[in-house]
Structure 1
Amino acid sequence: MRALLAFLRNTWRGLTAMRTALTLLFLLALGAMPGALLPQRSLNQQKVTEYIAEKGWWGGFLDRLQFFDVYASAWFSAVYVLLFVSLIGCLLPRTWEYFEQMRAKPVLTPRNLARMPHHASAESAASPDLVIAAAKRRLKGWRLVERAEEGGARSVSAERGFLRETGNLVFHFSLLGLLVAFALGKMFGYEGQVIVQSQGGQYCNSGVYNFDTFRPGLRVDGTDLNQFCVKVDDFHATYLHNGQAQTFQADIQYQSGDDLETGTWRPYPLQVNHPLRTAGDRLYLLGHGYTPLFTVTFPNGEVRTGSTQWRPVDELTLASEGATKFDPPGVTDDEQRRKNQLAITGLLAPTAVFQGELLDSAFPEARDPAVAVDVYRGDLGRDSGRGQSIFTLDPKVVKDGKVTKVARQNLKVGEEIKLDDGTAIRFDGVRDWVSLQVSHDPTQIYVLAFAVLVILGLVVSLTVKRRRIWVRATPQEDGRTVVEVGGLARTDQAGYGEEFGSLSRDLLKEES
């Protein structure tokens, strides 16, 4: 039992040592690196799947080590918790010791000041009382205490630099507060992404079903989101000559608070890294793409339009792929309706260039859009009860022969393709869509405040130095007074020699 207690005591001492806290902080930063370098499931499941498939056994090994779920992994959480315990365990005793030192008086004047790292002495015609009074005036602002000694001698003990330990404690408590704020932000925050069409597309932050992807905190169930609505009027982008994006701006209108009751819309120019802050949330502009516009005229003369966003597959030229799907009109029989569904898939080029019949995009701006489409007819699986991507045609229905390719053709704006049953599909151009992200972090202000305090505490602890100085005035038989000045730096002595020299010269000059 005694051995067990000794082991636990030594383990606790080791865990709460400052060097252990610094080691755990380093491990936490090191452990966060895979989260920045590798795709994470919480952000993009598809990229994680592609990465594992591409890397083979190495990808599977990293997956078993939870490198694609870093911030939810057992090892990252263990380091995080141990860092909390270590910081608290080493800060509480240091704080109590700090308050004890603040209440304590400066230490007694050493008997032999000549043994101090810094020392100077001189004789004065003034009495010890006058010498000490002058010294106290010169040391104004220092914590000091005057003492009477044997033989009529008098001395002053003074010290300065307690702000160093204050800054040290502020730094470490702020670091602890920063970790707590981050943890609470992950618990009570949420983040969602949604694609909204320009030219009047709307989004309301009223429930998780309005998002394309939604990542709730551990204590968020999605039933009590902050209420606001956004309408995208237009989108503008500028590009460099090489196609690199220079500026993105979405001209939006938004409603929040009382505006939802009055129907008031407020304009806002939403730009990258310049979020809209409303209703306690932040709305970011992440990116944009294009939506091809198709008009389908069915054999019975009925006309339908399709405007489903396609996703970019080339970030430089914004060449995009997707699938626009239609149900046939005027068909009441479910089986016949499913057998005659249409899917328009292929490649969209904002600025089209052709190499023979092969379509490619030369520039991300929609200067001369064109599409290379494959048209499929059959049961698309939309009524199967299983979710499917809006960007692709389910490969299973193609493999099972439930759909048939009925046409392939390149189309420029205004051109159309005729199907074997008389259906006409016309390409009418493109429309911009924007990708928006809604972020809610109730601890954002606290994170900022703690981050500022961390920097301030670190600056104070690195610039302020603990030092002590003693002045002793000893009367002599001839009526003169021997004045001694001794100094000691409690921390790094760099720079204290100059300060002590200036102080000692002033003190001895006044009394000589």
Structure 2
Amino acid sequence: MRVALILLFMLALASLPGALLPQWNLNTAKTAQYILDYPTLGPWLNRLGFFGVFGSPWYAAIYLLLFISLIGCLVPRSWEFVGQIRSKPVATPRNLARLPHHGQVRLADKRNPDEVAGQIEAGLRGWRLTRRSEPGGVVTVSAEKGYLREVGNLVFHVSLLGLLAAIAVGKMFGFEGSLIVTEGQTFCSGSPAAYDNFRPGLLVDGTAMAPFCATVDKFTAAYNPNGMASSFSSDLTYTASASAAPQQYNLRVNDPLRVDGERLYLIGHGFTPTFKVTYPNGQMREYEQPFQTQDGNLTSEGAVKITDPPGYVGKEVRNRQLAIVGIFAPTAVMSHGTNIMTSGFPAPDNPGVAIQIYRGNLGLEDGAAQSVYAIDPGQVANGELKKLTRANLSTGESMTIDDGTVIEFTGYKEWVSMQTSYDPAQGYALVFAITLLMGLMASLTIKRRRVWFRILPAGADGTGPVYGSFVQVGGLARTDQAGYGEEFTSLLALPVTKTKSAAVARR
């Protein structure tokens, strides 16, 4: 058990980097930025697996050793407990006065020791009992109670082992996928390619996912006067399979949509500004792109990348690409002196954008990955992407760049961040978590104790009446704070009949 406790402490200690440091599987961009910010420490932490703690070999080794240690504890303890259950309560000690709780009763009736023992046994319902005879007509009664304490202890440890096993099964056969969907858009979950970020289990290849589809019809948020959100919800239209009829569902925080064992959660939300671009040839196109939330008032940053402007062919297309980069504020306010736009409230009461226009080669054909929320600063540095002009726009306002292209801010949509999770062992994990708590409560509240009665015939102690019996009582608490006290007083009174008086002495 000592080894198991040490390993459990080590597991908790090893989990701390997973909570304190960014993890590759949760936030790739933040992890990469952390390594850049700490050029000496970051690469070493990466080599040692501190940015992928829960999948690292050393974490798995602690996990496996804890499994083995728990099994090594449970097997002998369970076998020993079975032996205790099958054995009789221990014989009555010779000197009960040496026990922490003791007393004696001198009876004034004519019952013999066997009759007194029968009355004692009738009052010890729920106790494990054994009656024994000793020389000289002496009868003893041994009783034990509180065996469910050890049962609760074993249930706790078995449940802990089962919970760890359920978590391991979930990590091997489960998966998580997250994505951002703007109002009016539809996504289908049948493939890992449908997700912005997909985290499969070790034995998941993505071919057995439930192929449900959902359309985000509307997102609704409510805020209190200080800007704190009071409710989030999103109206969905979903189909559980290709042949199923569409159904409606109101997706709320902590109230997921469940389809074929998969759960769809509402994680967060933000804004997608919309633009209408009128090109020099008169052609008009509409563009939208989710912007990334930066603060509690939902000030958002992002970039709309236009890779195929009309009216150009060949290499000209690549050199005339546009980027609308800037800030969206749901309730736009301008800071005094700097004229920088921020948001004063998370609700879209006065939407506005502060945008900077770039033209040139966005660098998307080079094969290097780019953030959807920003342009490549290297393209700006090498001169292939040129900064043109900037403007602060409210809904319906527009700006014109040097070639006559008109960019109009037409408004916004709201996007929702959702996560699909599948864990085949989640039901077992819940059952083990419940039984773990039940076992823990039983082991903490049930008290293990023993009591013995030695019933001597009349005159056996040299002081009692010639026609009565003399009873010695002793109690022992097997655990601290076992509840003796008032209970022992009631046990001491068991030999006394209800109709006869008795002199009771307790030391």
Q: Structure 2 length normalisation: TM-score?
A: 0.90
Cα offset for 1:374?
2.2
Range with bigger deviation, 464-473 or 240-249: 240-249
Which of residues 258, 262, 267 in structure 2 aligns to 1:281? 262
Measure how far apart 1:456 and its partner are: 1.0
Unaligned runs of 5+ in 1: 1-17
Structure-to-structure mapping, 1:377-456, within 5 angstroms: 377-456=359-438
Amino acid at match of 1:47: K
Query: Contact 2:303 / 2:323 at 8 angstroms: preserved in 1?
Result: no
Question: What letter is aligned with 1:329?
Answer: P
* Structure 1 residue identity aligned to 2:304: A
Describe how 1:256-405 pairs up with structure 2 within 5 A.
Answer: 256-257=240-241, 260-262=242-244, 264-331=245-312, 333-354=313-334, 355=336, 357-405=339-387
Distance 1:31 1:219, change over 3 A: same
What is the number of residues matched between the two proteins? 490
> Structure 2: which 5+ runs fail to align?
460-465, 503-507
1:243-289 CA deviation, whole Å, 9 max, x = no partner?
333322212222215xx313x22222222222222221221111111
Superposed displacement of residue 162, structure 1: 0.7
The answer to whether the 8 Å contact 1:253/1:267 transfers is yes
Give the conservation status (yes or no) of the 8 Å contact 2:148–2:446.
yes
Q: Partner residue of 1:497?
A: 485
The amino acid of 2:226's aligned partner reads N
In structure 1, give the amino acid aligned to 2:356.
D
8 Å CA contact retained: 1:121, 1:508:
no
Aligned counterparts of 1:123 and 1:348: Cα–Cα separation in 2: 91
Share of identical aligned residues, percent?
50
In structure 1, the residue matched to 2:505 is: none
| 1:251 aligned residue (235, 239, 244) | 235
Letter in 1 for 2:137: G
Give the CA deviation at 1:188: 1.3
Match of 1:51 among 7, 10, 34: 34
State the 1:72 CA deviation: 2.1
1:189 aligns with 2:169: no
Deviation at 1:213, TM superposition (A): 0.6
Q: Assess if the C-alpha contact under 8 Å between 1:313 and 1:321 holds in 2.
A: no
Cα distance in 1 for partners of 2:482, 2:133 equals 32
Aligned residue identity for 2:305: T
Aligned partners of 2:141 and 2:454 also within 8 Å: yes
| Segment of structure 1 superposing worse, 357-366 or 304-313 | 357-366
- Partner SS for 1:496: coil
Aligned twin of 1:232? 216
Does residue 107 (structure 1) correspond to residue 95 (structure 2)? The answer is no
Note the C-alpha offset of 1:58.
Answer: 4.4
Q: What SS does the corresponding residue of 1:24 show, helix, strand or coil?
A: helix
2:463 alignment counterpart: none
Quick one: which amino acid aligns to residue 206 of structure 2?
G
Rounded to whole Å, the distance in 2 between the matches of 1:67 and 1:382 is 32
1:349 aligned partner, one-letter code: A
Distance 2:370 2:105 in 1: 92
User: Is residue 351–residue 363 contact of structure 1 (8 Å, CA) maintained in 2?
Assistant: yes
Give SS of 1:192's match.
Answer: strand
* Alpha-carbon distance in 2 for matches of 1:236, 1:186: 33
1:172/1:454 contact within 8 Å kept: yes
Which has the larger displacement, 170-179 or 138-147? 138-147
Q: Give the secondary-structure state (helix, strand or coil) at the position aligned to 2:375.
A: coil
Aligned residue identity for 1:242: N
TM-score (norm 1): 0.90
Q: Deviations over 1:351-394 (max 9, x none)?
A: 22235653333222222222222222222223333432221112
For residues 117-165 of structure 1, what are the alpha-carbon distances to aligned partners after superposition, in whole Å with 9 as ceiling and x for unaligned? 3222233321122112111111122111222222222222211111110
**Larger deviation: 310-319 or 463-472?**
310-319
- In terms of mean alpha carbon deviation, does 416-425 or 215-224 score higher? 416-425
Structure number with higher helix proportion: 1
SS at match of 2:51: coil
> What is the distance in 2 between the residues matched to 1:360 and 1:143?
74
Pairing of 1:473-512 with structure 2 (within 5 A): 473-476=455-458, 478-509=466-497, 512=502
Q: Which moved more, 1:465-474 or 1:173-182?
A: 465-474
8 Å Cα contact 1:470/1:485 also seen in 2: yes
**Following TM superposition, by how much is the alpha carbon of 1:173 offset from its aligned partner in structure 2, in angstroms?**
0.8
1:19 matches 2:2: yes
Task: Indicate how the Cα distance of structure 1 residues 353 and 476 shifts in structure 2: closer, same or farther if over 3 A, else same.
Answer: closer
The amino acid that maps onto 2:274 is L
Q: Which of 198, 206, 226 is the matching residue for 1:242? A: 226
Distance in 2 between residues matched to 1:348 and 1:480, nearest whole Å? 96
2:443 corresponds to which letter in structure 1? S
Greater displacement, 247-256 / 374-383: 374-383
Find the counterpart in structure 2 of residue 39 from structure 1: 22
Deviation at 1:318, TM superposition (A): 2.2
Distance in 2 (CA, whole Å) between partners of 1:306 and 1:458 is: 58
Code of the residue aligned with 2:480 in structure 1: it is D
Change in CA separation of 1:383 and 1:50 when aligned onto 2, cut-off 3 Å: closer
> Per the alignment, do residues 293 and 122 of structure 1 end up closer, same or farther by CA in structure 2, a change over 3 Å counting?
closer
CA distance in 2, matches of 1:372, 1:267: 37
How many Å separate the matches in 2 of 1:197 and 1:35? 31
User: 1:121 and 2:104 equivalent?
Assistant: yes
Q: Which residue of 1 aligns with 2:453?
A: 471
Distance 1:348 1:129 in 2: 91
Q: Label 1:358 to 1:132 Cα distance change in 2 as closer, same or farther (>3 A).
A: closer
Instruction: Tell me the equivalent position of 2:462.
Output: none
2:168, 2:197 → 1: CA distance? 22
Q: Secondary structure at the match of 2:36?
A: helix
Query: Do residues 84 (structure 1) and 72 (structure 2) align?
Result: no
Q: Secondary structure at the match of 1:506?
A: coil
In 1, the alpha carbon distance for the partners of 2:403 and 2:433 equals 67
Return the offset for 1:92: 0.6
Provide the residue aligned with 1:12 in structure 2. none
**Offset, 1:210:** 0.6
> How many Å separate the matches in 2 of 1:91 and 1:82?
14
